Copies of this chain bind each other. A is one copy, B any other.
């Protein structure tokens, strides 16, 4: 069966075997265990990760040390701090594994190389980026217009798996409520 990354990319653009091999040659594969981070504050994100298996979160710690989760990442998702990655600037966020995970990553330099040599992949990432932008916009809207109960229900509807996989306190940190409030939303 085809490489999972190929399946993923071919949802947007199609590739020959040679093209995919060429793409893949720009990636490295690594394993990370639960709790291990792949990016921390003040580092420059020079890698973009694609999740083969496992689960990660990208989060921000406020001055009180409280964690706010920007994004969860699961199988077939991309994750990095795009602010830091694109601008090659210091990151404010922290990305770590919620489960043992297998990851593919492409460095900033390799992505530049690849997109310059292969216009198709430029298009792929451009499209990805558009979708990502829409998702972010929707998240902002949801934070503005929906109550925490509504946000909870929307998330549950959209990603029911997440609730079986990750502790509720992390869901709470994603929804922007305390874990106690989240717990009481059930009743």
Determine whether A35 belongs to the interface, using a CB cutoff of 8 Å to chain B. yes
CB closest chain-B residue, reference A65: B31
Distance in angstroms between the alpha carbons of A36 and B38 in the assembled complex: 10
- Tell me whether A26 is interfacial, beta carbon within 8 Å: no
Let me know if A120 is at the binding interface, CB within 8 A: no
Smallest Cβ-Cβ distance to A35: which chain B residue: B35
Kindly provide the distance from the CB of A71 to the nearest chain B CB, expressed in whole angstroms.
20
Considering only CB atoms and an 8 Å cut-off, how many residues of chain A contact the other chain? 5
A37 contacts B by Cβ under 8 Å? yes
Copies of this chain per assembly: 2
Minimal Cβ-Cβ distance residue in B for A41: B30
Interface class of chain A by DSSP: loop
Query: Which B residues are CB-close (under 8 A) to A33?
Result: 35
Specify the chain B residue showing the minimal Cβ separation from A34. B35
The A32-70 residues at the B interface (CB cut-off 8 A) are 33-37
Bound-complex Cα distance A92 to B181 (A)? 45
Residues of chain B within 8 A (CB-CB) of A37 are: 36-37
What's the Cα separation between A3 and B33 when bound, in Å? 36
Q: Shortest Cβ distance from A41 into chain B, in angstroms?
A: 9
* Bound CA–CA A33/B34 (angstroms): 13
Distance A34 CA – B34 CA, assembled complex (angstroms): 11
Give complex CA distance A122, B36 in Å: 35
A residues 136-182 in Cβ contact with B at 8 Å: none
CB distance from A163 to the nearest CB of B (A): 24
**A: which residues have CB within 8 A of B?**
33-37
